Amino acid sequence: MGVERIDTRLLEELTEQSQDLNSDALRITESALSDFREGTPPVSSRRWWHRGGSVAAVAGAAALLHTSRAAAATASADDIMALQTAASIENLAISVYRTAAGLPFIKDGNKTVAAFIAKTTTQHQAHAKAFNSAATQAGGKAQTQPDAKYAAVVKQTLPSIKTPADVVKLAITLEDVAAQTYTKNVGQVSNGDLRKLFASVAPVEAQHRATLLAVQALLAGNMGDLIAIPTDVAKLPAAAGSVGFPDAFYPTKNASPITEGAVK
């Protein structure tokens, strides 16, 4: 297999852009929740790209939100179910990543993979709090249970997980379902702030999937030693720059219906 030499400066720039994407998404999430709480329309001049904010800030803002008459009046029953379903997907992802972090071949294995799992778990916790805060704010109940459909898939799969590659494969499935569902939710919810909320979280889940697809490819090619930051870019296969992005436009055919994780 031929290799393509990559300018390390470009790799560093792409890494920084990836980090900025997540930070920007978190700031948009916080802004959407704040607007939804207050029942105010989005302000076009809001400079959400300014630096600052963190996962902790988003989680903290979500935890402090209270029920708002204005927000409840602008959210439909379908909106609440969509938020509850999203929270159920996040709850399942948190559970799976926590289980994975405790596996010996993850805990004592590749440090970069372990760090990714820890960071991603924190992000999913913030997302779950954001979705549940918006749901309760709109007059619904918080969803504290995992998505039942995919929880069954996880239960069936867990006994067969023996290697990091098995963990990565399962995580890719969950991240893809989340990204597809939230992408479709943008066009399903009736409230502008909720559309902004789903639109801010979807690319973060897509980013998780892209990273996992790259890791999966390296593991499949017996190149696990290249899963590191920084890595030896001269040894990366030429496909390393594209394997994480198989779709020009993110699909939604496998998106979960809004009723899938609704609180009954």
Return the pLDDT at 232: 78
Structural domains of the chain ordered from first start: 8-40+52-241 (1.20.1260.10)
DSSP characters for 140-153? -----SPPHHHHHH
Q: Report the alpha-carbon distance of residue 236 to residue 233 in Å, rounded.
A: 5
Residue 3: beta bridge partners? 237
pLDDT attached to residue 235: 83
C-alpha 228/C-alpha 111 separation (Å) is: 8
Burial class (CB in 10 A: 0-12, 13-18, 19+), 263: middle
Q: pTM (2 decimals)? A: 0.76
> For position 264, what pLDDT does the model report?
86
Q: What pLDDT tens digit does each residue of the chain (264 aa) get?
A: 444 443 444 445 545 555 555 656 556 556 656 666 555 444 333 332 233 334 444 444 444 344 344 555 578 999 999 999 999 999 999 999 999 999 999 999 999 999 999 999 999 999 999 999 999 999 999 999 999 999 999 999 999 999 999 999 999 999 999 999 999 999 999 988 999 999 999 999 999 999 999 999 989 888 888 888 777 778 888 777 788 888 889 999 999 999 999 998
**Residue for token pair 């249970």:** 145
Nearest CA to 146 out of 62, 205, 84 is that of: 84
User: In terms of Cα–Cα distance, which of 204, 75, 63 is closest to 135?
Assistant: 75
Distance separating alpha carbons of residues 114 and 120, to the nearest angstrom? 10
Per-residue tokens: 96: 């799976």
